[in-house]
Structure 1
Amino acid sequence: MTPLLAVEDLVRHYRLPRERLLAPAPVLHALDGVSFTLEAGRTLGIVGESGSGKSTLARLVMALEPPTAGRVLLQGQDLQALPPAALRRARAQFQMVFQDPYGSLDPRQTVARIVGEPLEALPGAGRAERRERAAEMLDAVGLRTADLDKYPHEFSGGQRQRIAIARALVTRPRLIVADEPVSALDVSVQAQVLNLMQDLQQRYGLAYLFVSHDLAVVDLVCDEVAVMHQGRIVEQGSPDRLFTRPGHPYTQRLLASVLR
Protein backbone atom coordinates (compact mmCIF):
# COMPACT_ATOMS: atom_id res chain seq x y z
CA MET A 1 0.00 0.00 0.00
CA THR A 2 1.35 3.43 -0.97
CA PRO A 3 2.05 5.64 2.07
CA LEU A 4 0.57 9.11 2.21
CA LEU A 5 4.03 10.70 2.35
CA ALA A 6 7.33 9.13 1.27
CA VAL A 7 10.63 10.97 1.54
CA GLU A 8 13.40 9.22 -0.40
CA ASP A 9 17.12 9.97 0.08
CA LEU A 10 16.49 13.68 0.46
CA VAL A 11 19.58 15.89 0.14
CA ARG A 12 19.83 19.67 0.43
CA HIS A 13 23.09 21.59 0.09
CA TYR A 14 23.51 25.35 0.31
CA ARG A 15 26.42 27.29 -1.12
CA LEU A 16 27.72 29.81 1.39
CA PRO A 17 29.51 33.13 0.66
CA ARG A 18 33.21 32.82 -0.20
CA GLU A 19 35.58 33.69 2.62
CA ARG A 20 38.12 34.97 0.05
CA LEU A 21 37.69 36.17 -3.50
CA LEU A 22 39.40 33.23 -5.21
CA ALA A 23 38.51 30.59 -2.65
CA PRO A 24 35.87 27.97 -3.51
CA ALA A 25 32.44 28.61 -2.04
CA PRO A 26 31.89 26.43 1.05
CA VAL A 27 28.89 24.10 1.03
CA LEU A 28 26.50 23.54 3.93
CA HIS A 29 25.06 20.00 4.02
CA ALA A 30 21.69 20.78 5.58
CA LEU A 31 20.15 17.39 4.67
CA ASP A 32 22.18 14.32 3.77
CA GLY A 33 20.11 11.34 2.67
CA VAL A 34 16.88 11.57 4.72
CA SER A 35 14.26 8.87 4.14
CA PHE A 36 11.00 8.00 5.91
CA THR A 37 7.32 7.30 5.28
CA LEU A 38 4.16 8.60 6.94
CA GLU A 39 0.83 6.80 6.79
CA ALA A 40 -2.54 8.56 6.62
CA GLY A 41 -3.93 9.58 9.99
CA ARG A 42 -0.60 9.17 11.82
CA THR A 43 1.82 11.65 13.40
CA LEU A 44 5.58 11.52 12.85
CA GLY A 45 7.68 13.74 15.09
CA ILE A 46 10.98 15.18 13.86
CA VAL A 47 13.26 16.15 16.75
CA GLY A 48 16.81 17.43 17.07
CA GLU A 49 18.83 20.42 18.15
CA SER A 50 18.94 23.71 16.25
CA GLY A 51 20.81 23.28 12.98
CA SER A 52 20.01 19.58 12.66
CA GLY A 53 17.98 20.12 9.47
CA LYS A 54 14.44 19.90 10.86
CA SER A 55 13.10 23.13 9.33
CA THR A 56 14.91 22.51 6.04
CA LEU A 57 13.16 19.16 5.87
CA ALA A 58 9.80 20.82 6.50
CA ARG A 59 10.39 23.33 3.66
CA LEU A 60 11.34 20.58 1.22
CA VAL A 61 8.31 18.46 2.13
CA MET A 62 6.16 21.54 1.47
CA ALA A 63 7.93 22.03 -1.90
CA LEU A 64 8.88 25.56 -0.85
CA GLU A 65 12.37 24.93 -2.21
CA PRO A 66 13.87 22.15 -4.37
CA PRO A 67 16.07 19.35 -3.05
CA THR A 68 19.62 18.91 -4.26
CA ALA A 69 18.78 15.24 -4.68
CA GLY A 70 16.06 12.82 -3.65
CA ARG A 71 12.28 12.93 -3.89
CA VAL A 72 9.19 13.88 -1.88
CA LEU A 73 6.21 11.74 -2.86
CA LEU A 74 2.68 12.63 -1.77
CA GLN A 75 0.29 9.76 -2.48
CA GLY A 76 2.92 8.42 -4.86
CA GLN A 77 3.25 11.72 -6.76
CA ASP A 78 6.66 13.41 -6.99
CA LEU A 79 5.94 17.01 -5.97
CA GLN A 80 9.03 18.46 -7.65
CA ALA A 81 8.09 16.82 -10.95
CA LEU A 82 4.77 18.69 -11.09
CA PRO A 83 4.47 21.81 -13.27
CA PRO A 84 3.71 25.00 -11.30
CA ALA A 85 -0.04 24.99 -11.98
CA ALA A 86 -0.40 21.33 -10.97
CA LEU A 87 1.68 21.88 -7.82
CA ARG A 88 -0.53 24.81 -6.88
CA ARG A 89 -3.61 22.58 -7.14
CA ALA A 90 -1.90 19.74 -5.27
CA ARG A 91 -1.24 22.04 -2.30
CA ALA A 92 -4.86 21.56 -1.30
CA GLN A 93 -3.71 18.14 0.00
CA PHE A 94 -0.81 19.39 2.14
CA GLN A 95 -0.69 22.54 4.23
CA MET A 96 1.62 24.04 6.86
CA VAL A 97 1.34 25.59 10.32
CA PHE A 98 4.28 27.84 11.16
CA GLN A 99 6.00 28.56 14.45
CA ASP A 100 5.11 32.23 14.86
CA PRO A 101 1.32 32.65 14.88
CA TYR A 102 1.57 36.42 14.39
CA GLY A 103 4.33 36.56 11.79
CA SER A 104 2.54 34.01 9.59
CA LEU A 105 -0.68 36.04 9.45
CA ASP A 106 -0.94 39.18 7.31
CA PRO A 107 -1.86 41.98 9.78
CA ARG A 108 -3.57 43.95 6.99
CA GLN A 109 -6.05 41.19 6.17
CA THR A 110 -9.20 40.13 8.00
CA VAL A 111 -9.50 36.62 9.39
CA ALA A 112 -12.02 35.78 6.65
CA ARG A 113 -9.46 36.72 3.99
CA ILE A 114 -6.59 34.93 5.75
CA VAL A 115 -8.42 31.66 6.35
CA GLY A 116 -10.11 31.60 2.96
CA GLU A 117 -7.01 32.52 0.91
CA PRO A 118 -5.83 28.91 0.19
CA LEU A 119 -9.18 28.26 -1.53
CA GLU A 120 -8.29 30.76 -4.25
CA ALA A 121 -6.07 28.10 -5.81
CA LEU A 122 -9.04 25.78 -6.23
CA PRO A 123 -11.41 26.06 -9.20
CA GLY A 124 -14.91 27.30 -8.55
CA ALA A 125 -14.40 28.64 -5.03
CA GLY A 126 -16.19 32.01 -5.09
CA ARG A 127 -16.14 34.67 -2.40
CA ALA A 128 -19.30 33.45 -0.69
CA GLU A 129 -18.05 29.85 -0.55
CA ARG A 130 -14.66 30.96 0.78
CA ARG A 131 -16.33 32.89 3.58
CA GLU A 132 -18.63 29.98 4.40
CA ARG A 133 -15.71 27.52 4.55
CA ALA A 134 -13.69 29.99 6.65
CA ALA A 135 -16.55 30.23 9.14
CA GLU A 136 -16.78 26.44 9.27
CA MET A 137 -13.07 26.13 10.04
CA LEU A 138 -13.18 28.84 12.71
CA ASP A 139 -15.91 26.88 14.43
CA ALA A 140 -13.78 23.72 14.17
CA VAL A 141 -10.87 25.39 16.00
CA GLY A 142 -13.05 26.91 18.72
CA LEU A 143 -13.49 30.47 17.43
CA ARG A 144 -16.68 32.32 16.45
CA THR A 145 -18.15 33.32 13.12
CA ALA A 146 -18.14 36.92 14.44
CA ASP A 147 -14.32 36.75 14.40
CA LEU A 148 -14.25 36.63 10.59
CA ASP A 149 -14.12 40.41 10.23
CA LYS A 150 -11.45 41.00 12.88
CA TYR A 151 -7.70 41.42 12.36
CA PRO A 152 -4.85 39.32 13.82
CA HIS A 153 -3.81 41.96 16.38
CA GLU A 154 -7.21 41.59 18.06
CA PHE A 155 -6.43 38.03 19.21
CA SER A 156 -4.16 36.39 21.76
CA GLY A 157 -1.22 34.23 20.68
CA GLY A 158 -3.14 31.01 21.18
CA GLN A 159 -6.11 32.34 19.22
CA ARG A 160 -3.82 33.44 16.38
CA GLN A 161 -2.40 29.93 16.17
CA ARG A 162 -5.97 28.60 16.02
CA ILE A 163 -6.53 30.92 13.05
CA ALA A 164 -3.38 29.55 11.41
CA ILE A 165 -4.65 26.00 11.96
CA ALA A 166 -8.04 26.97 10.48
CA ARG A 167 -6.25 28.32 7.40
CA ALA A 168 -4.34 25.04 7.04
CA LEU A 169 -7.57 23.04 7.34
CA VAL A 170 -9.71 25.04 4.94
CA THR A 171 -8.69 23.05 1.83
CA ARG A 172 -9.39 19.81 3.73
CA PRO A 173 -5.85 18.48 3.36
CA ARG A 174 -4.63 14.99 4.20
CA LEU A 175 -1.25 16.17 5.54
CA ILE A 176 -0.28 19.09 7.75
CA VAL A 177 3.37 19.99 8.31
CA ALA A 178 3.61 21.65 11.73
CA ASP A 179 6.95 23.43 12.26
CA GLU A 180 7.32 24.14 16.00
CA PRO A 181 3.59 25.00 16.18
CA VAL A 182 3.44 25.64 19.95
CA SER A 183 6.96 26.76 20.87
CA ALA A 184 6.01 30.47 20.77
CA LEU A 185 3.04 29.97 23.13
CA ASP A 186 2.70 29.95 26.91
CA VAL A 187 2.77 26.47 28.46
CA SER A 188 -0.92 26.52 29.42
CA VAL A 189 -1.88 27.61 25.90
CA GLN A 190 0.40 24.96 24.39
CA ALA A 191 -1.69 22.22 25.99
CA GLN A 192 -4.91 23.69 24.59
CA VAL A 193 -3.52 23.91 21.05
CA LEU A 194 -2.05 20.39 21.20
CA ASN A 195 -5.37 18.97 22.40
CA LEU A 196 -7.10 20.83 19.56
CA MET A 197 -4.69 19.37 16.99
CA GLN A 198 -5.31 15.85 18.29
CA ASP A 199 -9.08 16.37 18.18
CA LEU A 200 -8.88 17.68 14.61
CA GLN A 201 -6.74 14.72 13.59
CA GLN A 202 -9.42 12.30 14.75
CA ARG A 203 -12.22 14.34 13.20
CA TYR A 204 -10.65 14.83 9.76
CA GLY A 205 -8.24 11.88 9.52
CA LEU A 206 -5.21 14.15 9.29
CA ALA A 207 -1.58 13.10 9.17
CA TYR A 208 0.93 15.38 10.89
CA LEU A 209 4.62 15.83 10.25
CA PHE A 210 5.37 17.44 13.61
CA VAL A 211 8.70 19.30 13.86
CA SER A 212 9.76 20.18 17.39
CA HIS A 213 12.70 20.48 19.77
CA ASP A 214 10.43 19.80 22.77
CA LEU A 215 10.61 16.09 23.59
CA ALA A 216 7.70 16.26 26.04
CA VAL A 217 5.42 17.66 23.32
CA VAL A 218 6.57 15.03 20.83
CA ASP A 219 6.01 12.27 23.39
CA LEU A 220 2.44 13.50 23.89
CA VAL A 221 1.26 13.81 20.28
CA CYS A 222 3.39 11.55 18.07
CA ASP A 223 2.94 7.91 17.04
CA GLU A 224 6.55 7.69 15.89
CA VAL A 225 9.66 9.85 16.29
CA ALA A 226 12.66 10.43 14.03
CA VAL A 227 15.78 11.93 15.63
CA MET A 228 17.83 14.20 13.36
CA HIS A 229 21.50 15.04 13.79
CA GLN A 230 23.67 16.90 11.28
CA GLY A 231 21.19 16.46 8.44
CA ARG A 232 20.55 12.76 8.97
CA ILE A 233 17.97 10.64 10.76
CA VAL A 234 20.08 8.73 13.28
CA GLU A 235 17.26 6.85 15.04
CA GLN A 236 13.55 6.27 14.56
CA GLY A 237 10.90 4.46 16.56
CA SER A 238 7.95 4.79 18.92
CA PRO A 239 8.18 7.45 21.67
CA ASP A 240 7.96 4.73 24.34
CA ARG A 241 10.95 2.88 22.96
CA LEU A 242 13.00 5.89 21.92
CA PHE A 243 12.66 7.84 25.15
CA THR A 244 13.14 4.88 27.50
CA ARG A 245 15.71 2.78 25.58
CA PRO A 246 17.52 5.11 23.16
CA GLY A 247 20.02 3.25 21.03
CA HIS A 248 22.02 6.02 19.33
CA PRO A 249 24.54 8.03 21.37
CA TYR A 250 23.11 11.32 20.07
CA THR A 251 19.58 10.37 21.22
CA GLN A 252 21.02 9.47 24.61
CA ARG A 253 22.75 12.87 24.85
CA LEU A 254 19.60 14.66 23.74
CA LEU A 255 17.53 12.98 26.45
CA ALA A 256 20.21 13.53 29.08
CA SER A 257 20.31 17.26 28.33
CA VAL A 258 16.54 17.50 28.84
CA LEU A 259 16.72 15.66 32.16
CA ARG A 260 19.43 17.99 33.40
Structure 2
Amino acid sequence: MSASAPLLQVRDLHHHYPLPRTRLLGPRPMLPVLHGVDFSITTGRSLGVVGESGSGKSTLARIAMALETPASGSVQLLGRDLHRLAPGALRAARRDFQMVFQDPYGSLDPRQTVQRIVTEPLRALGRPTRAEAAARAAEVLAQVGLRPGDAHKYPHEFSGGQRQRIAIARALITRPRLIVADEPVSALDVSVQAQVLNLLAELQEEHGVTYLLISHDLAVVSHLCDEVLVLQGGRVVERGAPRELFAHPQHPYTQSLVAAVPRLVV
Protein backbone atom coordinates (compact mmCIF):
# COMPACT_ATOMS: atom_id res chain seq x y z
CA MET A 1 0.00 0.00 0.00
CA SER A 2 1.41 3.41 -0.98
CA ALA A 3 2.13 6.04 1.64
CA SER A 4 -0.68 8.24 0.26
CA ALA A 5 -3.31 5.46 0.20
CA PRO A 6 -6.06 5.67 2.85
CA LEU A 7 -5.58 3.65 5.99
CA LEU A 8 -9.37 3.19 6.32
CA GLN A 9 -11.70 3.40 3.36
CA VAL A 10 -15.47 3.10 3.67
CA ARG A 11 -17.45 2.84 0.45
CA ASP A 12 -21.22 3.09 -0.20
CA LEU A 13 -22.19 1.72 3.21
CA HIS A 14 -25.84 0.77 3.66
CA HIS A 15 -27.40 -0.88 6.70
CA HIS A 16 -30.82 -1.55 8.18
CA TYR A 17 -32.36 -3.33 11.16
CA PRO A 18 -35.41 -5.63 11.07
CA LEU A 19 -38.53 -4.49 12.90
CA PRO A 20 -41.29 -6.67 14.40
CA ARG A 21 -43.75 -8.08 11.89
CA THR A 22 -47.02 -6.21 11.58
CA ARG A 23 -48.72 -9.35 10.17
CA LEU A 24 -48.11 -12.95 11.18
CA LEU A 25 -47.13 -14.14 7.71
CA GLY A 26 -46.05 -10.81 6.29
CA PRO A 27 -42.47 -9.75 5.61
CA ARG A 28 -40.52 -8.08 8.38
CA PRO A 29 -40.28 -4.33 7.80
CA MET A 30 -36.80 -2.82 7.83
CA LEU A 31 -35.53 0.33 9.53
CA PRO A 32 -32.91 1.99 7.31
CA VAL A 33 -29.94 3.23 9.35
CA LEU A 34 -27.12 4.06 6.91
CA HIS A 35 -27.52 5.28 3.33
CA GLY A 36 -24.46 5.23 1.08
CA VAL A 37 -21.88 6.48 3.59
CA ASP A 38 -18.44 7.15 2.06
CA PHE A 39 -15.24 8.39 3.68
CA SER A 40 -11.54 7.64 4.05
CA ILE A 41 -8.84 8.42 6.62
CA THR A 42 -5.11 8.59 5.96
CA THR A 43 -2.54 7.48 8.53
CA GLY A 44 -2.04 9.81 11.48
CA ARG A 45 -5.21 11.81 10.84
CA SER A 46 -8.48 12.03 12.74
CA LEU A 47 -12.00 11.96 11.34
CA GLY A 48 -14.96 12.97 13.47
CA VAL A 49 -18.55 11.87 12.87
CA VAL A 50 -21.23 14.05 14.47
CA GLY A 51 -25.00 13.94 14.56
CA GLU A 52 -27.90 13.67 16.97
CA SER A 53 -29.01 10.43 18.61
CA GLY A 54 -30.37 8.02 16.01
CA SER A 55 -28.31 9.47 13.16
CA GLY A 56 -26.40 6.18 12.72
CA LYS A 57 -23.10 7.16 14.36
CA SER A 58 -22.71 4.15 16.66
CA THR A 59 -23.89 1.73 13.96
CA LEU A 60 -21.18 3.16 11.73
CA ALA A 61 -18.60 2.61 14.49
CA ARG A 62 -19.65 -1.02 15.01
CA ILE A 63 -19.50 -1.73 11.27
CA ALA A 64 -16.08 -0.07 11.01
CA MET A 65 -14.94 -2.38 13.81
CA ALA A 66 -16.44 -5.41 12.00
CA LEU A 67 -18.73 -6.01 14.98
CA GLU A 68 -21.71 -5.82 12.61
CA THR A 69 -21.95 -6.72 8.93
CA PRO A 70 -23.40 -4.05 6.61
CA ALA A 71 -26.27 -4.78 4.25
CA SER A 72 -23.99 -3.59 1.44
CA GLY A 73 -20.82 -1.61 0.90
CA SER A 74 -17.28 -2.20 2.11
CA VAL A 75 -14.89 -1.31 4.93
CA GLN A 76 -11.25 -1.63 3.92
CA LEU A 77 -8.38 -1.32 6.39
CA LEU A 78 -4.89 -1.41 4.88
CA GLY A 79 -6.51 -2.59 1.65
CA ARG A 80 -8.32 -5.54 3.28
CA ASP A 81 -12.11 -5.75 3.16
CA LEU A 82 -12.79 -6.55 6.82
CA HIS A 83 -16.22 -8.06 6.16
CA ARG A 84 -14.87 -10.51 3.58
CA LEU A 85 -12.08 -11.91 5.77
CA ALA A 86 -12.32 -15.42 7.17
CA PRO A 87 -12.79 -15.49 10.97
CA GLY A 88 -9.16 -16.37 11.65
CA ALA A 89 -7.89 -13.65 9.32
CA LEU A 90 -10.24 -11.09 10.87
CA ARG A 91 -9.01 -12.02 14.36
CA ALA A 92 -5.42 -11.46 13.22
CA ALA A 93 -6.36 -8.19 11.51
CA ARG A 94 -7.77 -6.83 14.79
CA ARG A 95 -4.19 -6.18 15.88
CA ASP A 96 -4.37 -3.13 13.58
CA PHE A 97 -7.64 -1.66 14.87
CA GLN A 98 -9.05 -1.34 18.36
CA MET A 99 -11.96 0.45 20.03
CA VAL A 100 -12.53 2.74 23.00
CA PHE A 101 -16.10 2.63 24.30
CA GLN A 102 -18.26 5.34 25.83
CA ASP A 103 -18.61 4.02 29.39
CA PRO A 104 -15.19 3.83 31.08
CA TYR A 105 -16.54 1.58 33.82
CA GLY A 106 -19.05 -0.61 31.99
CA SER A 107 -16.41 -1.59 29.42
CA LEU A 108 -13.99 -2.85 32.12
CA ASP A 109 -14.54 -6.17 33.93
CA PRO A 110 -14.67 -5.24 37.66
CA ARG A 111 -13.47 -8.74 38.63
CA GLN A 112 -10.17 -8.46 36.76
CA THR A 113 -7.01 -6.54 37.52
CA VAL A 114 -5.92 -3.71 35.28
CA GLN A 115 -3.09 -5.84 33.91
CA ARG A 116 -5.52 -8.59 32.98
CA ILE A 117 -7.87 -6.07 31.36
CA VAL A 118 -5.31 -4.24 29.23
CA THR A 119 -3.61 -7.44 28.03
CA GLU A 120 -6.89 -9.05 26.94
CA PRO A 121 -6.36 -8.16 23.25
CA LEU A 122 -2.90 -9.76 23.35
CA ARG A 123 -4.33 -12.99 24.71
CA ALA A 124 -7.06 -12.93 22.06
CA LEU A 125 -4.39 -12.74 19.35
CA GLY A 126 -1.98 -15.28 20.79
CA ARG A 127 -0.43 -16.65 23.94
CA PRO A 128 2.06 -14.15 25.36
CA THR A 129 4.19 -15.30 28.28
CA ARG A 130 3.46 -13.81 31.69
CA ALA A 131 6.63 -11.72 31.46
CA GLU A 132 5.73 -10.44 27.97
CA ALA A 133 2.22 -9.51 29.07
CA ALA A 134 3.48 -7.71 32.18
CA ALA A 135 6.07 -5.77 30.17
CA ARG A 136 3.55 -4.65 27.55
CA ALA A 137 1.02 -3.70 30.25
CA ALA A 138 3.63 -1.57 32.02
CA GLU A 139 4.52 0.10 28.72
CA VAL A 140 0.98 1.11 27.75
CA LEU A 141 0.04 2.16 31.29
CA ALA A 142 3.03 4.51 31.27
CA GLN A 143 1.91 5.85 27.88
CA VAL A 144 -1.45 6.87 29.32
CA GLY A 145 0.03 8.39 32.48
CA LEU A 146 -0.63 5.61 34.99
CA ARG A 147 1.89 4.07 37.39
CA PRO A 148 3.35 0.54 37.23
CA GLY A 149 1.65 -0.36 40.53
CA ASP A 150 -1.74 0.40 39.01
CA ALA A 151 -1.49 -2.84 37.02
CA HIS A 152 -2.42 -4.84 40.12
CA LYS A 153 -5.47 -2.76 41.09
CA TYR A 154 -9.12 -3.15 40.10
CA PRO A 155 -11.33 -0.71 38.15
CA HIS A 156 -13.30 0.44 41.20
CA GLU A 157 -10.11 1.89 42.66
CA PHE A 158 -9.88 4.54 39.93
CA SER A 159 -11.71 7.72 38.97
CA GLY A 160 -13.73 7.95 35.75
CA GLY A 161 -10.90 9.65 33.89
CA GLN A 162 -8.39 7.05 35.06
CA ARG A 163 -10.74 4.25 33.96
CA GLN A 164 -10.91 5.74 30.50
CA ARG A 165 -7.09 5.86 30.47
CA ILE A 166 -7.17 2.14 31.25
CA ALA A 167 -9.56 1.60 28.32
CA ILE A 168 -7.20 3.57 26.06
CA ALA A 169 -4.25 1.51 27.31
CA ARG A 170 -6.15 -1.66 26.41
CA ALA A 171 -6.72 -0.27 22.90
CA LEU A 172 -3.01 0.58 22.55
CA ILE A 173 -1.66 -2.79 23.69
CA THR A 174 -1.53 -4.29 20.17
CA ARG A 175 0.05 -1.10 18.73
CA PRO A 176 -2.94 -0.54 16.41
CA ARG A 177 -2.92 1.67 13.35
CA LEU A 178 -6.53 2.78 13.92
CA ILE A 179 -8.56 3.46 17.07
CA VAL A 180 -12.34 3.82 16.79
CA ALA A 181 -13.59 5.90 19.72
CA ASP A 182 -17.35 5.98 20.28
CA GLU A 183 -18.23 8.92 22.55
CA PRO A 184 -15.00 8.37 24.55
CA VAL A 185 -15.46 11.34 26.92
CA SER A 186 -19.22 11.89 27.11
CA ALA A 187 -19.50 10.07 30.46
CA LEU A 188 -16.75 12.18 32.06
CA ASP A 189 -16.72 15.52 33.87
CA VAL A 190 -15.76 18.49 31.69
CA SER A 191 -12.32 18.95 33.27
CA VAL A 192 -11.58 15.24 32.89
CA GLN A 193 -12.78 15.33 29.27
CA ALA A 194 -10.01 17.83 28.48
CA GLN A 195 -7.39 15.58 30.08
CA VAL A 196 -8.46 12.53 28.06
CA LEU A 197 -8.69 14.50 24.78
CA ASN A 198 -5.21 15.95 25.35
CA LEU A 199 -3.95 12.42 26.01
CA LEU A 200 -5.45 11.17 22.72
CA ALA A 201 -3.80 14.08 20.87
CA GLU A 202 -0.43 13.37 22.50
CA LEU A 203 -0.64 9.68 21.58
CA GLN A 204 -1.38 10.61 17.99
CA GLU A 205 1.57 13.00 17.84
CA GLU A 206 4.00 10.55 19.44
CA HIS A 207 2.84 7.27 17.88
CA GLY A 208 0.97 8.26 14.70
CA VAL A 209 -2.33 6.72 15.81
CA THR A 210 -5.28 7.32 13.47
CA TYR A 211 -8.69 8.04 15.01
CA LEU A 212 -12.28 7.60 13.92
CA LEU A 213 -14.10 9.63 16.57
CA ILE A 214 -17.86 9.32 17.06
CA SER A 215 -19.36 12.16 19.07
CA HIS A 216 -22.38 14.39 19.50
CA ASP A 217 -20.15 17.10 21.01
CA LEU A 218 -18.91 19.59 18.41
CA ALA A 219 -16.25 20.98 20.76
CA VAL A 220 -14.74 17.52 21.24
CA VAL A 221 -14.55 16.97 17.49
CA SER A 222 -13.06 20.43 16.92
CA HIS A 223 -10.35 19.73 19.50
CA LEU A 224 -9.14 16.42 18.06
CA CYS A 225 -10.19 16.01 14.43
CA ASP A 226 -8.78 17.13 11.09
CA GLU A 227 -12.05 16.50 9.25
CA VAL A 228 -15.66 16.02 10.26
CA LEU A 229 -18.67 14.31 8.70
CA VAL A 230 -22.15 15.44 9.65
CA LEU A 231 -24.55 12.49 9.68
CA GLN A 232 -28.31 13.02 9.49
CA GLY A 233 -30.64 10.05 9.24
CA GLY A 234 -27.77 7.84 8.15
CA ARG A 235 -26.66 10.16 5.33
CA VAL A 236 -23.58 12.38 5.15
CA VAL A 237 -25.01 15.87 4.61
CA GLU A 238 -21.83 17.91 5.02
CA ARG A 239 -18.10 17.43 5.51
CA GLY A 240 -14.99 19.55 5.94
CA ALA A 241 -12.44 20.91 8.38
CA PRO A 242 -14.18 21.44 11.74
CA ARG A 243 -13.12 25.07 12.24
CA GLU A 244 -14.51 26.11 8.85
CA LEU A 245 -17.51 23.79 8.94
CA PHE A 246 -18.74 24.90 12.36
CA ALA A 247 -17.99 28.57 11.69
CA HIS A 248 -19.80 28.60 8.34
CA PRO A 249 -22.19 25.62 8.17
CA GLN A 250 -23.95 25.30 4.83
CA HIS A 251 -26.51 22.55 5.40
CA PRO A 252 -29.59 23.42 7.51
CA TYR A 253 -29.02 20.38 9.72
CA THR A 254 -25.42 21.43 10.48
CA GLN A 255 -26.67 24.93 11.17
CA SER A 256 -29.15 23.53 13.69
CA LEU A 257 -26.42 21.51 15.43
CA VAL A 258 -24.18 24.57 15.72
CA ALA A 259 -27.08 26.73 16.94
CA ALA A 260 -27.88 24.16 19.65
CA VAL A 261 -24.42 24.40 21.26
CA PRO A 262 -24.82 25.98 24.74
CA ARG A 263 -23.13 29.35 25.22
CA LEU A 264 -22.12 30.96 28.48
CA VAL A 265 -24.16 33.98 29.52
CA VAL A 266 -22.17 36.48 31.61
Give the TM-score of the pair, scaled to structure 1. Answer: 0.97
Query: Which secondary structure does the structure 2 equivalent of 1:11 belong to?
Result: strand
Query: Which secondary structure does the structure 2 equivalent of 1:173 belong to?
Result: coil
Map of 2:235 onto structure 1: 232
CA distance in 1, matches of 2:32, 2:133: 41
Answer yes or no: is 1:192 the counterpart of 2:201: no
User: 1:222-242 deviations in whole A, cap 9, x for unaligned?
Assistant: 100000000011111001221
Query: Cα distance, 1:122 vs. partner?
Result: 3.2
Query: Which secondary structure does the structure 1 equivalent of 2:107 belong to?
Result: coil
Answer yes or no: is 1:85 the counterpart of 2:91: no
Query: Which secondary structure does the structure 1 equivalent of 2:170 belong to?
Result: helix
Map of 1:251 onto structure 2: 254
Map of 2:117 onto structure 1: 114
Map of 2:78 onto structure 1: 75
CA distance in 2, matches of 1:210, 1:74: 16
Letter of the structure 1 residue corresponding to residue 245 of structure 2: L
CA distance in 1, matches of 2:126, 2:113: 22
Cα RMSD after superposing both structures: 1.1
CA distance in 2, matches of 1:123, 1:15: 36
Matches within 5 A, 1:133-148: 133-148=136-151
Query: Cα distance, 1:20 vs. partner?
Result: 3.7
Query: Cα distance, 1:220 vs. partner?
Result: 1.0
Map of 1:161 onto structure 2: 164
Query: Cα distance, 1:247 vs. partner?
Result: 1.2
Query: Cα distance, 1:258 vs. partner?
Result: 1.7
Map of 2:205 onto structure 1: 202
Map of 1:47 onto structure 2: 50
Question: Which is worse superposed, 120-129 or 68-77?
Answer: 120-129
Map of 1:60 onto structure 2: 63
Give the TM-score of the pair, scaled to structure 2. Answer: 0.95
Query: Cα distance, 1:259 vs. partner?
Result: 4.9
Letter of the structure 1 residue corresponding to residue 181 of structure 2: A
Query: Cα distance, 1:124 vs. partner?
Result: 5.5
Query: Cα distance, 1:256 vs. partner?
Result: 1.3
Give the number of aligned pairs: 260
Asked whether the 8 Å contact 1:137–1:169 carries over to 2, the reply is: yes
Query: Which secondary structure does the structure 1 equivalent of 2:199 belong to?
Result: helix
Q: Which runs of 5+ in 1 are unaligned?
A: none
Query: How many percent of aligned residue pairs carry the same amino acid?
Result: 68
Q: Which runs of 5+ in 2 are unaligned?
A: none
Question: Which is worse superposed, 247-256 or 117-126?
Answer: 117-126
CA distance in 2, matches of 1:22, 1:91: 41
